[in-house]
Amino acid sequence: MEEDRGRIKREVLRDFARYIDPMKVRTLKAAGLDIVEDRREGASVWDITGRRYIDCTTGMGCFNVGRRHPRVVKALKEALDLLDTGIFLMVSRQKAQLARRLAEITPGNLTCTLFGTGGGEANDAAIKLARGFTGCKEILYAERGYHGHTGFALSAIGREAYREPFEPLMPGFRRVPFGDVEALEKAISGETAAVLLEPIQGEAGIRIPPDDYLQTVRRLCDENGALLILDEVQTGFGRTGRMFACEHWGVVPDILTVAKSLGGSLYPISATIYREDLLDFFIAHPFIHLSTFGGSDLGCVVALAVIDVIQQEGLVERARAMGERFAAGFEVLKRRYPGLLLEVRQKGLMMGLQFTNASIGPRMSYQLAQRGVLAIYSGNDPSVMRLMPPLVIGEEEVDQVLEALDEAMAQLMKEPGIGKED
Ligand SMILES: Cc1ncc(COP(=O)(O)O)c(C=O)c1O
């Protein structure tokens, strides 16, 4: 049986490399991440060979309620006996229920929703709405930011490698340094339709802005008649220890985008949630932004179950508590490996470990995988290891991750190229 599994794994990797992408397989292999997902449950995932891993990637924030949460699975199974995606042009009970729920759980006066299937699509819709509503064209976005690979979202991506092959991208997009109020003050004007930001940058390596940053951005947007779009695709639904990260700073955007965890790892769905008065734009153009599977009836059922689980099982509070447990462990690691671990950036269970150089991320992923922990270094900065476990992670699992980190760092200290040389 064991042997069969090994053979199946080799065949899957071979076919994936041949029919999908050989470089993807090679890169994953180099980082020890060439597992073939099989069973998934809670905070764990099993390789097809039967080896268990604690999942600290969660698809960069897809699985806040854990893998295959039983209540979400049950809701989807029951819905499959009665529903399908629904006709996207029609009125749907499930869409109405979910939109109302989103209005209830989001801060301030964000009461209207446009559904989509993914984060990039949600951001595209937000940018279209901002341009359509304000009549202005300019979109300001942040260096190293990440908003997806779709048309408008790609134009707001803060990494050259993702952009260059496709240029020219959408005109009217202008980049500013993240967290820099003065730079934003110089760039913003009456021509600005929107400022698009992640409240905490995920892909960039868990970058948390200075404490007064978002509040000042909010003020600058108001003074210049620009809209504030906050992309909470990674930070939303309890990840940072608040339902939405913007609540840490008491800032309400004009448009909030969410995806990933809303689908509970079971059904793709995203939402662009906006201030009621922006509806004026859609009153003139009710069918101007459509998505056949966006906010499908099945997706809405799943999303409603996800929100119930987060609220009823206290997962926001749990993210804070488990985050504190991790933080205590990181303090020990910082003292033990000062030449390797430079800084820890963390809000709740959104955690980034800043290492000394860019070679360390992939080596760290490799070492952790050897010790049963799945974690992926930051795409836009491989010197940062991202840890984003499901919010249902238990104390024992947190301790296992910390132990694996300790052993992995001890191992890395023995290897060449460690230190502050680059
Ligand atoms: C902050 C942020 N926005 C948008 C996206 C894009 O989401 P999707 O891949 O669902 O289009 C991501 C994906 O990682 C993200 O992290």
Q: What is the pLDDT of residue 2?
A: 55
Does the Cβ of 232 fall within 6 Å of ligand 1?
Answer: no
Two structure tokens written together for 71:
């209540």
The structural domains of the chain, ordered by start, are 2-65+314-413 (3.90.1150.10), 70-312 (3.40.640.10)
Spacing, Cα 121 to ligand 1 middle (Å)? 9
Residue 155 near residue 124, CB atoms below 8 Å: no
Does the Cβ of 147 fall within 6 Å of ligand 1?
Answer: yes
The CA–CA distances, whole Å, from 283 to 154, 279, 286, 314 equal 28, 6, 6, 38
Residue 144 near residue 291, CB atoms below 8 Å: no
Q: What is the pLDDT of residue 421?
A: 46
86: left (phi over 0), alpha (psi -120 to 50) or beta: left
Q: Whose CA is nearest to atom 4 of ligand 1?
A: 147
Q: What is the pLDDT of residues 158-215, one digit of tens each?
A: 888 899 999 999 999 999 999 999 999 999 999 999 999 999 999 999 999 999 999 9
Q: Rounded CA gap, 86 and 5, in Å?
A: 39
Q: Whose CA is nearest to atom 7 of ligand 1?
A: 119
Q: Cβ atoms within 10 A of the Cβ of 333, count?
A: 17
* CA proximity to 218, closest of 244, 250, 187: 250
Does the Cβ of 337 fall within 6 Å of ligand 1?
Answer: no
Does the Cβ of 119 fall within 6 Å of ligand 1?
Answer: yes
Burial class (CB in 10 A: 0-12, 13-18, 19+), 286: exposed
Spacing, Cα 115 to ligand 1 middle (Å)? 15
- Sheet strands (E) in 179-306: 192-197, 227-231, 255-258, 270-275
Residue 210: what residue type? P
Q: Whose CA is nearest to atom 13 of ligand 1?
A: 148
Lowest mean per-residue pLDDT among 46-50, 102-106, 408-412, 415-419: 415-419
Residue 355 near residue 387, CB atoms below 8 Å: no
Spacing, Cα 421 to ligand 1 middle (Å)? 33
Spacing, Cα 272 to ligand 1 middle (Å)? 13
Q: Binning pLDDT at 50, 70 and 90, where does residue 400 land?
A: very high
Radius of gyration of the chain (CA): 21
For 37, which DSSP code?
Answer: E
Spacing, Cα 147 to ligand 1 middle (Å)? 5
Q: Binning pLDDT at 50, 70 and 90, where does residue 283 land?
A: confident
Q: What is the pLDDT of residue 234?
A: 97
Spacing, Cα 16 to ligand 1 middle (Å)? 23
Q: Rounded CA gap, 58 and 29, in Å?
A: 19
Q: Which atom of ligand 1 is nearest to the CA of 232?
A: 1
Q: Rounded CA gap, 73 and 71, in Å?
A: 5
Residue 30: what residue type? A
Spacing, Cα 256 to ligand 1 middle (Å)? 13
Of 260, 270, 378, the one to substitute when testing ligand 1's pocket (max ligand atoms within 8 A of C-beta) is 260
Q: What is the pLDDT of residue 419?
A: 60
Length of the chain: 422
Mean confidence (pLDDT) of the chain: 95
Residue 274 has pLDDT above 70, yes or no: yes
Does the Cβ of 231 fall within 6 Å of ligand 1?
Answer: yes
Q: Binning pLDDT at 50, 70 and 90, where does residue 422 land?
A: very low
Residue 228 near residue 412, CB atoms below 8 Å: no
The residues near 405 (Cβ < 8 Å, ≥ 6 apart) are: 329, 333, 353, 368, 373
Does the Cβ of 234 fall within 6 Å of ligand 1?
Answer: yes
Residue range 93-106: mean pLDDT, rounded: 98
- Distance between the two ends of the chain, CA-based, in angstroms? 47
Two structure tokens written together for 155:
């134009």
Spacing, Cα 260 to ligand 1 middle (Å)? 7
Spacing, Cα 120 to ligand 1 middle (Å)? 6
Does the Cβ of 386 fall within 6 Å of ligand 1?
Answer: no
